[in-house]
Amino acid sequence: MSKKLVVMIPAFNEEKTIASVIREIPRKIAGISKVEVLVIDDGSTDNTARVARKAGADEIFSHRKNFGLAVAFRHGLEQALGMKADIIVNTDADFQYNQKEIPKIIKPILEGKADIVLTDRNVWSLRHMPLGKKLGNLLSTAITRFVSGFPTRDAQSGFRAFSKEAALQLNILSRYTYVQETIIQAFNKNLAMLQVPCEFRKREGKSRLISSLWKYARNAGIIIIRNYVQYRPLKAFLEIGGFVMLIGFILGLRVLIHYLLTGMVSPFIPTAILTAILLMIGFQIIVLGLIADAIKAQRQVQEELLYYRKKERFDR
């Protein structure tokens, strides 16, 4: 059965490159009955929308102001589903990804082997990528791998393919970037993910998203931590509370040994008080974990209801 593919392109002030991206997208792909291009113009102040339309974009969804990449991505998924997409490919508007690789990226979905296909840029082989960005990518990927449990090789690559089912289940909450959040959510929702290598060209000009490596690391870190606590609250709070209690036990051990030998707590009364405080704080953190885990169960029910509402809406 042939399927419809929508290639969505979040864009902000990319009038110089978006036409090249659109024209490079293959319009005939085996197993695909129709290919359409959707551009999400995230409040561009240049001629991005006009250039995209002239280059052959089928649909353009425009924001009145710049909301950020994650919001543009979320709205792109919704618009693509509204266009009756069976498969959605997300790509960048800066012409760094090779759109001719789209057939390779969607193949695992067409074959029923994956719900989401990620790409691996093999960043350490890229001579044009600065060392700072390589190290940042390595760190972010390692943290995402640890938090999600999925052995991703390149958590930062935005060139991805999603089945309709995956798009319906994802609920992006961040306003900054979506790349880590989608991996963490997908793994926790038991969506099948595969990875394929991809080409990554040198960018002309500065990145719209990573204007500051420190700002990107800070915002991406917050997103990763928030998702870890949301999807594995009991484990997160147990780890934090257990660590605090362990410090309390270690400090209290000296007091206990002294008491057993002398029958007295002094001169370690301050240490004994600190031990008691740490043990109480650690215990309270663990209790918070239990409460957060109960809230997680409620959120899962709400997400399931949202999934069925979206499915009903986009299946009409």
Last-in-domain residue among 231, 263, 297: 231
Greater model confidence, 279 or 301: 279
Last-in-domain residue among 204, 231, 258: 231
- pLDDT, position 85: 95
Q: Which of 115-124, 203-212, 217-226, 286-295 has the lowest mean pLDDT?
A: 203-212
Residues 86 and 170 occupy one common structural domain? yes
Domain count of the chain? 2
Q: Where is 299: in which H helix or E strand?
A: helix 269-314
Place 207 in a pLDDT band, splitting at 50, 70 and 90: low
Residues 273 and 199 occupy one common structural domain? no
Decide: helix, strand or coil at residue 128. Answer: coil
Q: What is the mean pLDDT of residues 278-296?
A: 91
Residues 219 and 246 occupy one common structural domain? no
Greater model confidence, 114 or 264: 114
Residues 166 and 39 occupy one common structural domain? yes
- Are the C-beta atoms of residues 152 and 141 closer than 8 Å to each other? yes
Residues 225 and 257 occupy one common structural domain? no
Handedness of CA 60, 65, 69, 71 (dihedral sign): negative
pLDDT, tens digit (0-9, with 9 covering 90-100), for 21-78: 999 999 999 999 999 999 999 999 999 999 999 999 999 999 999 998 899 999 999 9
What share of residues in the chain are helix, strand, coil (percent, to 5)?
Answer: 55, 15, 30
Decide: helix, strand or coil at residue 17. Answer: coil
Report the C-alpha dihedral over residues 45, 49, 55, 56, rounded to 10 degrees. 170
Decide: helix, strand or coil at residue 151. Answer: coil
pLDDT, tens digit (0-9, with 9 covering 90-100), for 111-159: 999 999 999 999 988 888 888 888 888 888 888 888 888 999 999 899 9
Residues 224 and 251 occupy one common structural domain? no
CA distances from 73 to 68, 109, 160, 276 (A): 9, 20, 12, 48
- What is the reported pTM? 0.82
Residues 159 and 247 occupy one common structural domain? no
Residues 43 and 174 occupy one common structural domain? yes
Q: What is the mean pLDDT of residues 265-281?
A: 91
pLDDT at 87 over 80: yes
Last-in-domain residue among 198, 231, 264: 231
Q: What is the mean pLDDT of residues 218-235?
A: 78
Residues 24 and 10 occupy one common structural domain? yes
| Residue-by-residue DSSP string for 182-225 | HHHHHHHTT--EEEEE--BPPPSS--SS-S-HHHHHHHHHHHHH
Q: Which of 27-31, 117-121, 230-234, 271-275 has the lowest mean pLDDT?
A: 230-234
Residues 102 and 183 occupy one common structural domain? yes
Q: Which residues form the domain of 198? A: 3-231
Q: How many CA atoms lie within 13 A of 55 on its CB side?
A: 25
The owner of tokens 């319009």 is: 27
pLDDT at 252 over 60: yes
Residues 196 and 223 occupy one common structural domain? yes
Residues 194 and 169 occupy one common structural domain? yes
